[in-house]
Structure 1
Amino acid sequence: MTISVKSARVAVTHLQTRMPFSFGSVTIEALPHVLVKLCVEVDGETVVGMSADHAVPKWFEKDPEITVADDIERLFSAIQQACNLSQEVSAETPFEFWRRVHDSQMDWAERQVVPSLVATFGVSFIERAVIDAVCRYENTTFSEAVRDGTFGIKPGAVYEAAEGMDPLDSLPETPNQSVAVRHTVGHDDPLTADEVDDSIDDGLPETLADYVREDGVRYFKCKLCGDVIEDRKRLAAIAEVLDDALDDYGATLDANEQYESIGSLEELWRELDSSPTLDRFVENLICIEQPLDRKIALSAEAGEMLDSWEGPPIIIDESDGKMGAFGEAVELGYGGASVKSCKGVFEAIVNACLVDHLNEQDDRRYLLTAEDLTTIGPVSLQQDLALVATLGLNHVERNGHHYFRGLDMLPKTLQNKVIASHDGLYHRHEQRFPSLDINDGYLVLKSVLDAPYGTPIQPNLGDFTPIEEWSVDKLGL
């Protein structure tokens, strides 16, 4: 197989949230959604591949000196640079194509002093669009292509410990046919109706209690703010809702780097572990995601803390910005890493191989958890679900359906295609927009797994604004 990219187009649309999403040090009420279309030549035949994602400000880098507008422009620059670099390389497998674009992008990032997480975000658009094109060219699905070697994935090219490993040997024999939704509880999300002063009243659940009752969710991801006392109080309030409503549940914590010192993180755990009102909640904790600022998260001091850590596994997320970072984190004592398509699809699969290897060699259990970038359909959410199902992960953080009003913001023709193509994953809400179809806390993935790479849909970029013509002023910040 010979792969090259002949042309690239990037388009943008701006989206308004239905409620503010507060995480880390930012509150999001509007953001740009980016779509990339590549014309990929595979063995002399031109095939279109697509990818999409939000350009979420203040997640990829959290420098307080950089404005939200500048943050978005830096993300755009990384995407456009990756598009340019993709047209300068060729390779015999999608995996090798990804590695060559990645290496060139990282060289550019080092020269321009661009954070590695921002740079890899740009590469992920190319990676996903090439995967899409190759699946369409081969008339195969993502899961099949991972398992039959179509992508040419070589874990040993990233981790020496994974040399000779085949993803086929580390992944489930078949992809998961459904996945549990892990519901995001943002800093300012209302927990019960008593906390709602002015209801959105848009036909969708609004409070944590609503989602438990109406969608049947049993897994939760709780955002932390980095203040020990405030986080303890917030978690106690969340635990009260969950303990009253559910006999059994699972939860993860996500601090988005807000704990700037190891001592404050240790203090948080002492507060949680010693609080009688949090007994059930603490027992149900799965992991703590990226509590420490990336400046210290992979330091020797962090490793010393992890040596004596007695709480749930701590995993990296924002620190996973360069190839092989998970291996470095494991050596320090971290227990796992997040899976996000925006950080890299092949990286996630390679990390799954490393986890399999570590769990065979070590008494300790390592894990991957599937996390969200507020993904929405019709491209990014479905592509990410294809990855999650292939890895065999049983629950996935999803919040795009929570912070956005389904797919109401997309052109009507595109909304209708989603309904027609994804029966079981989406349903038409009584107010006529496509909405995720969550039943008893689960998403059914048949339409995702039957498609080439998550979805048969390729949006018309003519319905959106070319990136060169789009302005951050449209967000009304």
Structure 2
Amino acid sequence: MDRNIGASLTAPRIRIVEIDTFERDTRLRLPFRFGAATLEKAPQAFLRVRVEDEKGKTAVGAAAEMMVPKWFDKNPAFTPAQNVDQLRGSIRVAAAASLEASAPTTLFAAARVNEMETVRRLPGNPLAAGFGPSLIARAALDAYCRLAGISFFDAVRGNLVGIGGSMLPGDIGADAASATLAGLRPAGSISARHTIGLLDPITERDIVHPVDDGLPQSLEAVIARYGNHWFKIKLSGEVDADLDRLARIAAVLDHLPDYRVTVDGNEQFAAAEPLADLLARMAAMPRLARLRAAIAFIEQPFSRAITMQTPLRALAAELPFLIDESDDGDAAFAHARELGYTGVSSKTCKGVYRSLLKAIRIRTTGVPNLFLSGEDLTCQAGLAVQQDLALVSLLGLSHVERNGHHYVAGMQGAPQAEMARFAAAHPDIYERGAEGPLLSIRDGRIAIGSLGAIGYASGALPDFEAMEPLS
């Protein structure tokens, strides 16, 4: 079959007829330091999108994502407030472009066209420009699923999203895409990979400013409460400081019978040599032996300005490497593979269809040892974390970085009625906290069976009337 036919002939066509944008301030219970940035507060964006099918029937869907400064754009010339305004601008431009489209089309084609048009209108940083389109695509998919009375899993596995047609990248065939999607199977639970931020206390003795909200602060307390056995360690790029901190982390983790870690460079290494020095010195330290053996992969060690010009060479023979911030377009992973990378991230802020296309490529390319990993952007309890959990589960991932529940206490900022609706709709995902539902992690795992609800992984919608319009 021609690669431009396939699912595009049978997938339903919709039109986006209304987009409302909102935000809700979110204050972190603990400062989160990643790379050179420290996050203490940030607004969460919410979108409400109405779609119409070819019979004139409509439904509303929603999506949410934190507008995190200094991840999409690390340019020091921009303040955190300017970074957030970049993301607001992406939402506005993407919404305007979506509403300009008049002819019904598949969900996939609508998302691809919207992303390309938004990036065209906001040149310079595809990651920041793609933020708005990613939210619109998720909300439109949620709306379609509610319209059709099906789950996100049904929509994707049946390729009702329409991954095919002229919007399909040239290296993927329509039949292979549909066959891959049909073979995806969501799990009933997934391991939570706990993030160890650069400011996070490792032991109870390290706590300088106790929060006293009943939730864990130190790594020791996190393990005692949640039972994690997967961890993500942030690096600073300062080799001596990183080695000292890794040794303190290892002293805690080595009490566990078994654990695995991923290591995130967050673009902090200026060249391959300091990273090679770090790994060599780790190998020479007996107290880091177990932690070094537990590393599953290293994530984005170099700045995106140099990543695609910096071959990994001998480093790639030591450990698998993954790109995250440098994954800003269809060709990025293929280029990175030439440099020695074998992994690429799934993040809902980059787009649900981008993650699905990556999974299709990895499963159909025939190249061994390629992998996809779920990475968080402080996804908050409610829509954001549920939609991300559903996606990574369907992709077949066995673990996902989860950090929003650690740095923010539950559905902070939401009205009590909204919290109650989400807790009632998803009793496996949330547990009762002092001020509302909290993400439930037991023995290091999150139960996610309820994400098969009608819609995109949510049996409830937020209280939009209690939010502020997008600033």
TM-score category of the 2 structures, normalised to the smaller one: over 0.9
8 Å CA contact retained: 1:170, 1:356: no
Measured after TM superposition, the shift of residue 166 of structure 1 is 2.2
Measured after TM superposition, the shift of residue 158 of structure 1 is 4.9
Residue in structure 2 matched with residue 98 of structure 1 by the alignment: 111
Instruction: For 2:342, give the aligned amino acid.
Output: G
Structure 1 pair 433–334 and aligned structure 2 pair: CA distance change class (3 A): same
In the TM superposition, structure 1's runs of 4+ consecutive aligned residues that sit over 6 Å from their partners are none
What are the superposed Cα offsets for residues 263-299 of structure 1, whole Å, 9 maximum, x if unpaired?
2222222222222211111111111111110011111
Instruction: For 2:70, give the aligned amino acid.
Output: K
Residue in structure 2 matched with residue 42 of structure 1 by the alignment: 53
Q: How does 1:320-399 map to 2 (within 5 A)?
A: 320-358=327-365, 361-362=366-367, 364-399=368-403
TM-score scaled by length of structure 1: 0.92
Q: How does 1:221-370 map to 2 (within 5 A)?
A: 221-244=232-255, 246-299=256-309, 302-303=310-311, 305-306=312-313, 309-358=316-365, 361-362=366-367, 364-370=368-374
Measured after TM superposition, the shift of residue 127 of structure 1 is 0.8
Instruction: For 1:345, give the aligned amino acid.
Output: V
SS of equivalent residue, structure 1 residue 176:
coil
Measured after TM superposition, the shift of residue 255 of structure 1 is 1.4
Measured after TM superposition, the shift of residue 220 of structure 1 is 0.2
SS of equivalent residue, structure 1 residue 392:
coil
Instruction: For 1:339, give the aligned amino acid.
Output: S
- Residue 52 of structure 1 pairs with residue 64 of structure 2: yes
- Residue 457 of structure 1 pairs with residue 453 of structure 2: no
Measured after TM superposition, the shift of residue 323 of structure 1 is 2.7
Instruction: For 1:99, give the aligned amino acid.
Output: R
Measured after TM superposition, the shift of residue 174 of structure 1 is 2.2
Instruction: For 2:95, give the aligned amino acid.
Output: C
Residue in structure 2 matched with residue 198 of structure 1 by the alignment: 209
How far apart, in 2, do the equivalents of 1:55 and 1:83 lie?
Answer: 16
Residue in structure 1 matched with residue 81 of structure 2 by the alignment: 69
What are the superposed Cα offsets for residues 182-208 of structure 1, whole Å, 9 maximum, x if unpaired?
000000101111101331110111111
SS of equivalent residue, structure 1 residue 78:
helix
- Residue 412 of structure 1 pairs with residue 412 of structure 2: no
Instruction: For 1:25, give the aligned amino acid.
Output: A
- The more displaced of 259-268 and 174-183 is 259-268
Structure 1 pair 170–148 and aligned structure 2 pair: CA distance change class (3 A): closer
How far apart, in 1, do the equivalents of 2:105 and 2:168 lie?
Answer: 18
Residue in structure 2 matched with residue 427 of structure 1 by the alignment: 431
Measured after TM superposition, the shift of residue 54 of structure 1 is 0.5
Residue in structure 1 matched with residue 29 of structure 2 by the alignment: 18
Measured after TM superposition, the shift of residue 92 of structure 1 is 2.3
TM-score scaled by length of structure 2: 0.94
What are the superposed Cα offsets for residues 43-73 of structure 1, whole Å, 9 maximum, x if unpaired?
2222112111000000001011111111111
8 Å CA contact retained: 2:169, 2:330: no
How far apart, in 2, do the equivalents of 1:157 and 1:207 lie?
Answer: 47
SS of equivalent residue, structure 2 residue 318:
coil
Structure 1 pair 286–334 and aligned structure 2 pair: CA distance change class (3 A): same
Residue in structure 1 matched with residue 190 of structure 2 by the alignment: 179
Measured after TM superposition, the shift of residue 321 of structure 1 is 1.4
Measured after TM superposition, the shift of residue 324 of structure 1 is 3.0
Residue in structure 1 matched with residue 224 of structure 2 by the alignment: 213
Structure 1 pair 88–48 and aligned structure 2 pair: CA distance change class (3 A): same
- The more displaced of 127-136 and 269-278 is 269-278
Instruction: For 1:206, give the aligned amino acid.
Output: Q
8 Å CA contact retained: 2:115, 2:133: yes
How far apart, in 2, do the equivalents of 1:271 and 1:154 lie?
Answer: 48
How far apart, in 2, do the equivalents of 1:386 and 1:168 lie?
Answer: 20
- Residue 84 of structure 1 pairs with residue 96 of structure 2: yes
Measured after TM superposition, the shift of residue 458 of structure 1 is 1.6
Structure 1 pair 170–365 and aligned structure 2 pair: CA distance change class (3 A): farther
**Partner residue of 1:438 out of 420, 424, 441:** 441
8 Å CA contact retained: 2:426, 2:459: no
How far apart, in 2, do the equivalents of 1:368 and 1:107 lie?
Answer: 27
Instruction: For 2:426, give the aligned amino acid.
Output: H
8 Å CA contact retained: 1:172, 1:391: no
8 Å CA contact retained: 1:313, 1:335: yes
Measured after TM superposition, the shift of residue 173 of structure 1 is 4.5
8 Å CA contact retained: 1:145, 1:151: yes
Measured after TM superposition, the shift of residue 409 of structure 1 is 2.4
How far apart, in 2, do the equivalents of 1:313 and 1:117 lie?
Answer: 23
What are the superposed Cα offsets for residues 238-269 of structure 1, whole Å, 9 maximum, x if unpaired?
1110002x011110011111112122222222
8 Å CA contact retained: 1:136, 1:452: yes
How far apart, in 2, do the equivalents of 1:270 and 1:172 lie?
Answer: 41
RMSD between aligned residues: 1.6
8 Å CA contact retained: 1:424, 1:444: yes
Measured after TM superposition, the shift of residue 400 of structure 1 is 0.8
Measured after TM superposition, the shift of residue 29 of structure 1 is 0.7
Number of equivalenced pairs: 457
What are the superposed Cα offsets for residues 299-336 of structure 1, whole Å, 9 maximum, x if unpaired?
1xx22x33663222111000111233222222332111
How far apart, in 2, do the equivalents of 1:60 and 1:88 lie?
Answer: 26
Measured after TM superposition, the shift of residue 219 of structure 1 is 0.3
Instruction: For 1:385, give the aligned amino acid.
Output: L
